[in-house]
Amino acid sequence: MDNYQQFFIDTIPYLRRYARAYTGDVLSGDALVRRTIECAHSLINFLQDDTDIAIWLFSIMHNITLEERKTTESHPDNGVLNIDSMDISLLEDIDPEEIDIVTALAQLPAEQKETFLLVSLERFTYDEASQILNVPIGTLILRLNSARKFLIKRLLIDDFAELRAAQ
């Protein structure tokens, strides 16, 4: 495929958005994007002409995160950034409201989180998201349902949210 570099450059902002939402901070997100681009350069010869490069790149990123989850399976964080255990200095430039959504996302299981982010944040269709995640649509819908219920409970219904609303 010719001029794929331009597609890469066009997709990078969306990759960065997804990666930052997934990892929870800038540096880890950009590192994930960098690894994705490197991997994509090495795999560019396997890219079919009819493939959507954005979906392809997101699937590469998903596979990278999948590998990381496997290697860090025994880790107490389970490969997912735990905001509560992080140094608070990393969160200095984040709004309190943002901390809520970021914290809630960090507490989501990784599969639910990436499904929710692909659908709600990146606005992929269910077909595209199922291609990216390599899961059937039914599984996708179940994960999406679980993620949304968790987030609603965490952000809008729990006691902490009520306290915050009272303030």
Partner 1 sequence: MIVLSDKLSTESFHAFIDEQLSDEQYLQVEAQLDEIPDKLEEIQQCHIINERLREVFDPIVEEDVPEDLYSLALYGINSEYHDDTQDFQQFGYEFDEARNAVTGFNGEIATPLDSFDAALELQDENFIDTNEIDANEFAELEALSAGDDKDLTDFDIDNIHNSTGNILPDIFGDDTKSAYGSSTYPLRAAEDQAILDDIGSLTLEPLEKDDQSAVASNYSSPLEQPHLDNLPELSTEDRADAQSMAPEFELEPIERTITSASFDVPELQFEHASVVPDRQAAERNYLQKQQRVLDTLEASEELSLEPLEMEDGAAAIRKSKFIEPMGTISTKANVPVDTAEMPGSPDASREFDNKVTPAQSDDDQFAPQRNQEGLFTGFASDETKGNTKQGPGIVSNAAQTMAKANTKDRLIKTAAGITDTPEYSVNEIMESLDEIPDSGEQAPQDVVAEFFAANKAESDFEVNDVVKEFEEVSDQFNDHYDQNTFGSPVAQIRQKADAIFSGINYKFSALKNSFVRKEQESIQDFNKAPSSIRINISEPPEERIVSTTFGAGAGVDETSGPEGLSRKIGDTLKMYKQKLAHLTVTENTEPADNREPRQFDAASQVKNYKQIATHALERMSPENRMTIGGAILLVIGLMVGGSIASLFEQPVNAISTDKVEQLAIDAHILYTQQSQNFAGNPSASITESMQWLSARIGRQIRLADVQLEGFKHQRAIVIPTMVSYAIANIFENKSNQSITLFVASTVDPVANSPLTCRVPAGIDGLCSWVKDSVQYVAVANLSLSRVRTFSETLMGNL
In the complex, what is the shortest distance from the CB of residue 73 to partner 1, in angstroms, rounded to a whole number? 27
> Measured between alpha carbons, how far is 108 from 27 in angstroms, rounded to an integer?
20
- Identify whether the C-beta of residue 116 lies closer than 8 Å to the C-beta of residue 144: yes
Instruction: Confirm if 16 and 30 have CB atoms less than 8 A apart.
Output: yes
Residue type, 32: L
Minimal distance, residue 159 CB to partner 1, in Å: 16
How many of the chain's residues bind partner 1 (CB under 8 A)?
A: 42
Backbone φ and ψ for 136, nearest 5 degrees, come out as: -70, 165
Q: Is residue 156 part of the contact set for partner 1 (CB under 8 A)? A: yes
- Taking the C-alpha atoms of residue 101 and residue 91, their distance in angstroms, rounded to an integer, is 13
Site for partner 1 contains 54 (CB under 8 A): no
Only segment of 62-70, 74-82, 83-91, 138-146 that touches partner 1 (CB under 8 A):
138-146
Q: Which of residues 89-128 bind partner 1 (CB under 8 A)?
A: 95, 97-98, 100-102, 117, 119-121, 123, 125-127
